[in-house]
Structure 1
């Protein structure tokens, strides 16, 4: 009797700090579904203390949830694709800055290099936008990524159309289903209606 190897996803968190409380439970959902998670932190997520928590507490939480120290360097993430260490990359929350870098093909951060590393092997990158300017400055980058092969979006919609009319936020509870669909080459309806 052979056992199926555990599926592995790299999971990058970017600096939309207010979204962490909605994103972190999805790591637990994924591990309950049999996924091994390799956490990655953007420079701001790895190093900034905010009113939403400290960087040290975030790193500790990720270690407890995944059993892995978060990757925070270019050298740490580069082997993910070539060595086939991950089946997919999840970027949640995906900030406007990160999406702009991805759209421009700039791989100068741990998160964007992780994406490049997996894309070169044809593995999916799942984006869960959370940005205050999704219907303004970040819109062109999001539009470009929505058209590119191997990028899959967690369904998103307006965060608060009255107080923050340009803000977009993903329904993070749909992240596990988006990952499953992406591995089949299927895009869930990216816009919430």
Structure 2
């Protein structure tokens, strides 16, 4: 059976729950609701699992905080014996307009500390990452406040549809592969 690890990046704690930086957790929570799976506390994070058309998917929300996500990712890849080629990391991206979906199979960390740590720990940039655009409508020196800020009312109005689309992307990655998924979902 083909196995996958989907990792949503975010920070633990109620104060971060509704922030832009926690979109990885939010997307995995939406996936959990759509597939009737439930996250349980486990080593280095909250974990849930489900099956989709003969594929086994482990979902991870690391409890190591964003900037130390690599340790949790490596542990669960090794524990579940999942190849890096079947890893998908879900994260926020300041360089994309709000709600833009972008899947890539490799690349730089783009200045994202969570991706930077994963790359250092795994020793590769060749893993899939799904970036959810959070926009960059902040003033000079306000990046941290913006990223750790909550969604605007306008963003909140379209969030449900964007989360639904994100779950479709995750399922497509598992079922159809990266190339087909990129063609179908990138920039939508």
TM-score, normalising length from structure 2? 0.45
Which one has more relative contact order, counting CA pairs under 8 Å at least 6 apart?
A: 2
TM-score, normalising length from structure 1? 0.44
